[in-house]
Structures are given as structure tokens and as C-alpha cells.
Structure 1
Amino acid sequence: MNDFKYWLFTLHILLIAFGLILPSELFGYIITIIIVGFTIFYSKNGLLLLFVIFPVRPFLVEINGGYILLADLILLTAVCIAVYQRSQPISYWIKEYKWAGLFLSILIVGLLSGLHTGISVPAGLFQIRALLITFLVIIFVKESHWQRTELDRIIGISIATALFVCVHGWVEKISSRHWLLPAEWRDWNLASANEMRIYGLLANPNVLATYLLIVFFSTFLLKNTNSRNKPLMIIRILLAGTSLLTYSRGTLLAFAAGAVVFIILRKAWKQVLPLFLYAVVSFSLIYYPMDRVSEMIDESGYFNTTEEERPPDQVQEEPASPIIKENNVLIERFKEMFSDQTIQASAEWGRIYVVLKGLEIFQDYPLTGSGFATYGDAASQSYSSPIYERYGIPNNLYTDNQYISLLVSTGIIGTLLFLTLCFLMIKRVWQLKNNFWRSISLSAIATLLVSGLFYNILEDKTFTLYFYFIIGYVLNKEKLEKYYEMD
């Protein structure tokens, strides 16, 4: 059975909440087994549950370690069921997914290069999982039939989850990270410029901003009616305003690029003014008041307490902020992006440093790269890199640049494979007869490509969940829905 069941979805949410109230790892594993078991019979329930789990997964795992495999097992189970139900010969899968061989080739190059450099097998598999797990969404979505109501349901689930995440972010902001956070998260030693940012249940301001803006733009896919108009406007203001509280410049630039691509392709010039108004209203009604309230509470000294000195191994070290201002705001962050002081600090320890150091490593491993888990990727955060000591790289480095990460880890071969995959994807999407979904897909690809300049975007499970869903949906040979229109 593949139909969505509300009662089962509610049961899954209650079970997950139970595992947070009683955070026993044993309970977490038992709940994982129960949910995965139901996914065998109700695979779409499992997939839709991922639109709740991934946006809060860091928090879930921090509270209850038994949830660490929950999302992965749900997705793997759902994909296996979809493949089994299709009952197609091997020739079908080779024909339909031969382009995916490019992606698998990148993973193989990264793994073999890493093993040659000296990483462990678990480290290499860790990075493969980071890149591959949500990629499987394409297969499930492409091999399943989707109706308009099901896409609306995904958006509705995303809105409810995002609003929950927003409320948590507001509490985090006004409490100066004292309330509703795990103790370990409260103890993070953040740089001054990062203390004012909200990290949310995703434990990362950039990932949080990406998620909120995805949901913001997805609300425009809902058919506009008189009963929905005002609630949707309020929801968009809340989502956009909260995303501003992350001070995530790269995310704003990436989604602005995606929005421009969509507007040009659809010739939706009338949408420019509403988007601008949402930005202004969100800044005025959410960002600015929340920022002022937080500042007033902070100045009152309400949360000023004498903290016990923590051992160095319990402190999450981060590089010093290039510019420290007493009243740093979003506008100032954009102004200072290209200042001499910012550029100098970035070259010493920042994005420029990451690129220059990456190019230095690339010169020693030009063809196939130094491999996964060797330079600033997800795996190198959990496993020690065999080349850091040689190049004088600190252990906590994260590239925050998908292109330099790919170039260093897979070299010229891996980079060419990735560029070829992007070209084929753009070509395939461009050939879609449905102009609306062609525009959505190309704008999503534009957002992905621009985000790669600022983040390791392919490791972002929330972004790739939505992105790969879109790609899987438009690759589906079933007739695409024609009735989605912007407000």
C-alpha cells in the first residue's frame, strides 16, 4: 500500500516526540524500527516524514542518539520498495539512470583517492553517505505516481515544520541561546559576529536560512484562494523574517539568483514587487523587532551569569570574526563583505584561505584529488585527515565551498564529471514541455550552483531533499501537473 495515511503520520510524530521526552537510545532504536517497519507498507508516509525529520535532525540526534539512522533507513526502505514494486528488468534501470553513473563515478574517484592518500574505509563511506543518501530521493520520486494533492500535502507539512522551527529560533534569539537548546549547544564558544545569529534546530544558521527560504518559495506553489491569501501572506512574512535573523548572506544571494532565473524564464515581472514588499515587511515586522528585543534583554543583564570555566576539549573552537561590531546588523554584514579588513581576515582564516590552501593541495593531487575525508568535508569533521599536519591545516576546517571541496577531493577528473552531470541535468530540464516546471527546475539548479560558492551544498540534507524531489518529479514520465500558478 502506498497511500498516505494521516493517522500513521500523526503516530510517527508522537513516537518521535516520545523519544525526546524520554531520551533513551534504546527507545530511539525501537521507534526507528517501528517507523521503518511501517514504511515497508506505506512508503509515501515514510518519505513525507523526512520533510519533518531532516529540518530538525541535528536536534533529534543530539537529544536521542537512537535516532541517528532514522532518516537514512526510512529513505533506503522507501527506495527499495519503489524499485521492487516497479518490477522492471535491469535494462530499464540502466537506460533510465545511466546519467547517474556520473554521480557514482565521482563517489568512486573520491573514495579510491582518499584510500590512496591514507584515509580509513569508514571515513570514505561516511562521506559517500553524506553525498548519496538524499540523491536516492530522485529514484523514489521518479518511480512513483504523484498527484497535485500530494504535492500540496508536502508543502503543508513543510510549512507546519518551518513555523515550529521559526518559533524555536525566536526563543533562541531573545534568550541569547539560553533556552530550548541542548546543553552542549549552549556551551559553544561562538565568535562575536556569530553570537547574534540564530542556529535553530538545524544547528547551523546557513542551513536554517536555506530551509526557511525553500519553504517560503514553495508556498507560492499553493493555489491562491481568498481563504488562503491572508494566512499565506503572514506565513511568508514569518519565514522570510526569521531567515533574516540568520544573517546568512550567501543564502540570500543564492535564492535571489534562483528567483531571478524563475522570473526571467516565466516572464513573471509582476512578482518582483511582491517579493520586494515581503522583504521589506519581514525586515520591519520580524527581523528588526526581534533584534531590538534581544538587544534590550541582553543589555538588561538578565542572562549574565558567571559561567564555570570549561575544559578546552568541551569548547567548539571557531575562527575569530573578521569584523566585530557592537551593533552588527544584516545590512552591515553586506556592507562589510568586500571591505579591506574582511578580505585580509578571509585570506588569513576564512573563505579565501580555504580556496588558496585547497589550490595548494590540488597542485599535489591534480588528476584524481586527495580524496574524500581529506579536506574540509563532512567526513573530515568526524575523522582526522591524513594531510592536515603536512599542510598546517587546523582540524576543524570546513571548506564552505562545494567547488573547492570537489576539486581537492576528486581532482580534474571528478570536477569534469560533476560539470558534465550539471550540463546533462540542465539540458534534460530545458527540454521539458511544461514551462512552469522547467522554470522551477532551472531556478532550483541556479540556486544550487550559486550556493556551492558559499557552502558544501551537496552535504545539506534539507536542501538536497527538496532539490532531488523536484528533479525526480520532473524526470517522471507521467504527465506533469499544469495547474500550479503563482499568486
Structure 2
Amino acid sequence: MYRFTGWVFILHIILIIRGLIIPHPLMGYFVSLVIVLSSLVYLKNGLFLLFAFFPLRPFLVEINEGLTYLGDALILFILGAVFINKRPWKNLFKNYSWLAAVGVFLLIGLISGLLSGISLTAGIFQIRALIITVLVLILAKEITWRKGDLQKIIWISLGTAVLLSLHGIVEKLTLRQWLLPEAWTEWNLASANAMRIYGLIGNPNVLATYLLIVFFLTFLLKKKTWWLIPVRLLIVGTTLLTFSRGTLLAFAGGTAIFLLIYRYWKKIIPLTLYGVAAFVLIYYPVVSATELIEENGYFHETAQSDQSESNSAAKKPVTVKENNVFIERFKEMFASETVQASAEWGRIYVVLKGVEIFLDHPLIGSGFATYGDAATQSFSSPIYEEYGILDGLYADNQYIALLTETGIIGTLIILTLFGWLIYKLWNIQHRLWRTISLSAVFVFMISGLFYNILEDKTFTLYFYFIIGYVLNKRNMETDYEMD
């Protein structure tokens, strides 16, 4: 039950591919059912599958909506099986008393949201968005890990990251015309976003976050092979092609914390070399090739046969030079034009409007599904008309979302929980795992300035797993060292 079986994992992958070949929702439901039921016998297979499923979930669900709740079902059913077999409820209050605080936080968000006029469905939708991957922490803490299990997760993650990277480069070179769902190719993206890689994950920032997680995990691989170097370059180069400033800043801060605590300063040189080499060998050639392809009119609609050659040439799209865009995106962060645009509808606007709503609901906020969270993307917020907010706003700032929706009480609960977590992690005896987990918390906290990071299933899957794994006293692999 607690062993990973290779042929079962391959069978699960084949079933998911079958769901893509026959994209009917009933086939998706059938595939999900078979995978979940088999995972009750092979628990680790179901858990390990999450590390390939969640990064690909947006694409899989776009093709077959019957796969929508496969990840949720796996987590819930595996958790139930673990509790039944291990019976950890005997010490439940002692080991998971912090869940009471989480429950109070969720209750505050739900009640305040209902008072603001949201539907119960919208409130539950948001609770699910926040809590589902938290359960992975419990799984990682309760399951007995065998030697080599973590290695398997890293290899699965690495394979998935390579797939996403190669696909992202194809997406870039074909101007988002190949290997994407038809609905995605028709997205009306602003010019600043059109040049970014969205990938099968459907979001450049989430893609960059995932790729950097996997990049750093590869340094924990015990089997060192020469081809890890080009694979890491591919991953970093693809990350650069997402032009994700917030992600790069968050991981730069997390890396600095790691080097500071672990005192592993000699790692700065190879990490810098990976960045420079990826820019020269991956980023620059792909961008240059894309510009050449665009200048020659490939993947654009062909002119009608009766139009003259001169008229066709006149309608060639204007190509935006991207070779300096990566640097320019960082330089423009504090430009007056950027600040003005941000204040009108960007991040500054979101913060100022959030503070305005918070001042009207200071104690428990306006509630879940009311301001820039995942639920407001699917359900209309009842307060947007009152505050003159257009539908579709996404906070992209976890702190202002928390403060606005749950007020002082909800925000203090979350900050207290993270303070307690930092205290627990600081007291871990194993030096490397203590450093990794604290660095992950720091990346989490910085990312919250740029994204609704608690709703990012891919990031939180890895984050909560690492925390649970580190806190698992039965963990057998404590002899890790960085390469």
C-alpha cells in the first residue's frame, strides 16, 4: 500500500492520455474513477501522480473537463485511506491543533462573504481553492517514506518540467499556434503578454514558479548524470522566456536566504553560470528565431489570393524586438508610466481599492468570493458595482486579498500560523532540511506580494509537501547533501 509501483504509474498516465484522445466528459470521469480506486491500493502512486497532474491540469481540463476534480479526489481519498489505516485521530488534536485556527479563518471568510451577499456555492468554491493542497501536508507528515521515494518524485517532476519546457519553446516559435487548445490560441493577449510563454500550465507566472521549483530540486538528486546540465539549462532558459519578474525576485530572495543560513556561498558561481548560459544558449536563440519567423509572416493569416503582393506585404505584422525585453521589463517596473498605469488599473489600483473596501469592513473583511480571488473569476462579486470595480479583476497580491476579504482577524490568524511554522522549522535538527524549508517559506512570502500564492495549486502542492516531509519524524532519508 505504501510502495510506489512503476507499472501502475505508467497505467495512470496511459489512462489520462486516453481521456485526451476521447475528450468526452464521461471518459474523463471514468478515467478519474479508475485512477482514484487503484490509488486506494497503491497510495503512493496516487500521491506521486499529483506532481505530474497539477502542472498539466489546466491543459488536461481544457481538453476533457471530466478530469477537473481528479487531483482533489486523489488527495481526499488517499487522506481517508491513510487515516483509516494509521488511525492518527488518536493524537489528532495534539498533532493538528493548528487546523482549528485554519477552520476559524475559513469560517470568517465564509460568514463575512455570506453577509456581503455571495452564494454558498461561491464560498465553498473559494474554500476549496485555499484548502485542498493543505491536506498534502498531512499526507506527507503521516505517510512512512522509504528510501528513494523523494528521488522518484523529483524524477517525475523533472520529466514533467522538460515536457513543459519543450512545449513552451514550440509555443514561442509558432506564435502560440501549435500544440495548444483552440480556445487558447484565440486568447486576446496584450502585446506585453503575447511574447510570454504560457505553456500547458496556462499561465507564465505559474509556469516560471514550477520550473524554478524543479530546477532547485534537481540538486537533491543522488544520481548525477552529465545530461542534467543541459536539462537545467533548458528549464532556466524556458523560465526566462516567461518574463516573470515576480517569480525571479521571489526565488532570488529564497536563494539568498538558503545561502545565508546554509553558508553555501560557493554555490553562487554555478547558479550564476546557469543563468548566463541559459540566457545565451536558450533565451537569445529562441527569441531571435521567433522574431525571424514573425518577420517572414509565418503562422499569420495568409493574404487572399486576389490581393496584390504589395498589399500583402503592407499588411505584415509589426514585429516587436524582444532581445532586450527581459532587461527592459525590470527597468520599467519603477518608470513613471508604469506607476501611473498601475494606479489606474494595475497592482497599485488593486491595493488602493482593497484598502478602501477593508476600511469599510475592518474586522472580518468583505468575505470570500468578493475581491480578486479565484471565486470571483467564476462567480460575480456582490460588491463590485458598489465600489466601481469591473468584473475579471484578480488581486495578484495575497496580502491585500487576505486583508480585504478576512479583515484584521483573518489576516492575524494566517500571520500567526506562519510565525508558528517558521518557529517549528527553525528547530528542525537536520541542517539541510531546515534551510530548504525556511527558504521555501521565504519564497512563499515574497511571492504573495505578486500573486495569490495560496491559490496556486502547483506551488502549494510542492510547498505543503516539503513542509510535511520535513516535519515527518519517520522520514528515513536524512542523509541528503546538495551537489
Alpha-carbon distance in structure 2 between the residues aligned to 1:35 and 1:437: 32
Shift in Å at residue 374 of structure 1?
0.2
In structure 2, the CA distance between the partners of 1:356 and 1:480, relative to structure 1 (3 Å rule), is farther
Tell me the C-alpha RMSD between the 2 structures: 1.4
| Contact 1:222 1:484 (C-alpha < 8 Å) held by counterparts | no
The answer for the alignment partner of 1:116 in structure 2 is: 115
Shift in Å at residue 147 of structure 1?
2.6
The answer for the alignment partner of 2:26 in structure 1 is: 26
The answer for the alignment partner of 1:368 in structure 2 is: 364
The answer for the alignment partner of 1:296 in structure 2 is: 292
* Equivalent residue runs for 1:382-401 within 5 Å: 382-401=378-397
1:258 aligns with 2:257: no
- Tell me which amino acid in the other structure corresponds to 1:374: T
In structure 2, the CA distance between the partners of 1:325 and 1:175, relative to structure 1 (3 Å rule), is closer
Q: 2:427 aligns with which of 425, 431, 435?
A: 431
The answer for the alignment partner of 1:403 in structure 2 is: 399
* Equivalent residue runs for 1:186-265 within 5 Å: 186-223=185-222, 225=224, 228=225, 230-265=226-261
- Tell me which amino acid in the other structure corresponds to 1:75: I
Structure-1-length-normalised TM-score: 0.94
| Contact 2:363 2:408 (C-alpha < 8 Å) held by counterparts | yes
The answer for the alignment partner of 1:129 in structure 2 is: 128
Alpha-carbon distance in structure 1 between the residues aligned to 2:221 and 2:113: 45
| Contact 1:26 1:66 (C-alpha < 8 Å) held by counterparts | yes
Deviations 1:180-229 (A, max 9, x none): 1111111110001000000001110000000000000000111254xx1x
Alpha-carbon distance in structure 2 between the residues aligned to 1:189 and 1:269: 44
Alpha-carbon distance in structure 2 between the residues aligned to 1:336 and 1:463: 27
- Tell me which amino acid in the other structure corresponds to 2:275: A
Deviations 1:31-83 (A, max 9, x none): 11100110111111000000010000000000001101111101111111111
Deviations 1:237-291 (A, max 9, x none): 1111100000000000000111111111110011000100000001111111111
The answer for the alignment partner of 2:71 in structure 1 is: 71
The answer for the alignment partner of 1:102 in structure 2 is: 101
The answer for the alignment partner of 2:315 in structure 1 is: none
Bigger shift: residues 124-133 or 328-337: 328-337
What is the aligned length? Answer: 468
Shift in Å at residue 480 of structure 1?
5.6
- Tell me which amino acid in the other structure corresponds to 1:197: R
* Equivalent residue runs for 1:334-349 within 5 Å: 334-349=330-345
1:159 aligns with 2:155: no
1:140 aligns with 2:139: yes
Alpha-carbon distance in structure 2 between the residues aligned to 1:216 and 1:486: 13
The answer for the alignment partner of 1:459 in structure 2 is: 455
Shift in Å at residue 423 of structure 1?
0.2
In structure 2, the CA distance between the partners of 1:117 and 1:431, relative to structure 1 (3 Å rule), is same
Bigger shift: residues 327-336 or 255-264: 327-336
Shift in Å at residue 306 of structure 1?
6.5
Shift in Å at residue 326 of structure 1?
4.7
The answer for the alignment partner of 2:306 in structure 1 is: none
The answer for the alignment partner of 2:51 in structure 1 is: 51
| Contact 2:262 2:432 (C-alpha < 8 Å) held by counterparts | yes
Alpha-carbon distance in structure 2 between the residues aligned to 1:450 and 1:70: 30
Alpha-carbon distance in structure 2 between the residues aligned to 1:47 and 1:170: 29
Q: Give the SS at the match of 1:440.
A: helix
In structure 2, the CA distance between the partners of 1:68 and 1:481, relative to structure 1 (3 Å rule), is same
The answer for the alignment partner of 1:87 in structure 2 is: 87
- Tell me which amino acid in the other structure corresponds to 1:23: P
In structure 2, the CA distance between the partners of 1:396 and 1:89, relative to structure 1 (3 Å rule), is closer
Alpha-carbon distance in structure 1 between the residues aligned to 2:262 and 2:372: 38
Alpha-carbon distance in structure 1 between the residues aligned to 2:269 and 2:89: 51
Alpha-carbon distance in structure 1 between the residues aligned to 2:238 and 2:14: 26
| Contact 1:25 1:65 (C-alpha < 8 Å) held by counterparts | yes
| Contact 1:373 1:385 (C-alpha < 8 Å) held by counterparts | yes
| Contact 2:145 2:476 (C-alpha < 8 Å) held by counterparts | no
Structure-2-length-normalised TM-score: 0.95
| Contact 2:370 2:383 (C-alpha < 8 Å) held by counterparts | yes
Shift in Å at residue 89 of structure 1?
4.1
| Contact 1:401 1:455 (C-alpha < 8 Å) held by counterparts | yes
| Contact 2:402 2:410 (C-alpha < 8 Å) held by counterparts | yes
Alpha-carbon distance in structure 2 between the residues aligned to 1:306 and 1:416: 58
Q: Give the SS at the match of 2:298.
A: coil
Bigger shift: residues 16-25 or 245-254: 16-25
Shift in Å at residue 398 of structure 1?
0.3
Runs of 4+ more than 6 Å apart = none
| Contact 2:83 2:89 (C-alpha < 8 Å) held by counterparts | no
The answer for the alignment partner of 1:313 in structure 2 is: none
- Tell me which amino acid in the other structure corresponds to 2:45: N
| Contact 2:144 2:475 (C-alpha < 8 Å) held by counterparts | no
| Contact 2:114 2:367 (C-alpha < 8 Å) held by counterparts | yes
Percent of aligned pairs with the same residue? Answer: 58
Shift in Å at residue 232 of structure 1?
1.4
Alpha-carbon distance in structure 2 between the residues aligned to 1:68 and 1:208: 19
- Tell me which amino acid in the other structure corresponds to 1:445: V
| Contact 1:193 1:325 (C-alpha < 8 Å) held by counterparts | no
1:356 aligns with 2:348: no
Shift in Å at residue 449 of structure 1?
0.2
| Contact 2:123 2:375 (C-alpha < 8 Å) held by counterparts | yes
* Equivalent residue runs for 1:277-296 within 5 Å: 277-296=273-292
Shift in Å at residue 418 of structure 1?
0.6
The answer for the alignment partner of 2:62 in structure 1 is: 62
1:269 aligns with 2:265: yes
In structure 2, the CA distance between the partners of 1:195 and 1:78, relative to structure 1 (3 Å rule), is same
Deviations 1:431-453 (A, max 9, x none): 10111100000000000000000
Alpha-carbon distance in structure 2 between the residues aligned to 1:480 and 1:283: 38
Shift in Å at residue 481 of structure 1?
2.7
| Contact 2:36 2:46 (C-alpha < 8 Å) held by counterparts | yes
| Contact 1:61 1:67 (C-alpha < 8 Å) held by counterparts | yes
Alpha-carbon distance in structure 1 between the residues aligned to 2:283 and 2:148: 33
- Runs of 5+ consecutive residues of structure 1 not aligned to the other structure: 308-323
- Tell me which amino acid in the other structure corresponds to 2:156: I
Q: Give the SS at the match of 1:207.
A: helix
The answer for the alignment partner of 1:318 in structure 2 is: none
| Contact 2:116 2:366 (C-alpha < 8 Å) held by counterparts | yes
In structure 2, the CA distance between the partners of 1:468 and 1:139, relative to structure 1 (3 Å rule), is same
Alpha-carbon distance in structure 2 between the residues aligned to 1:20 and 1:11: 14
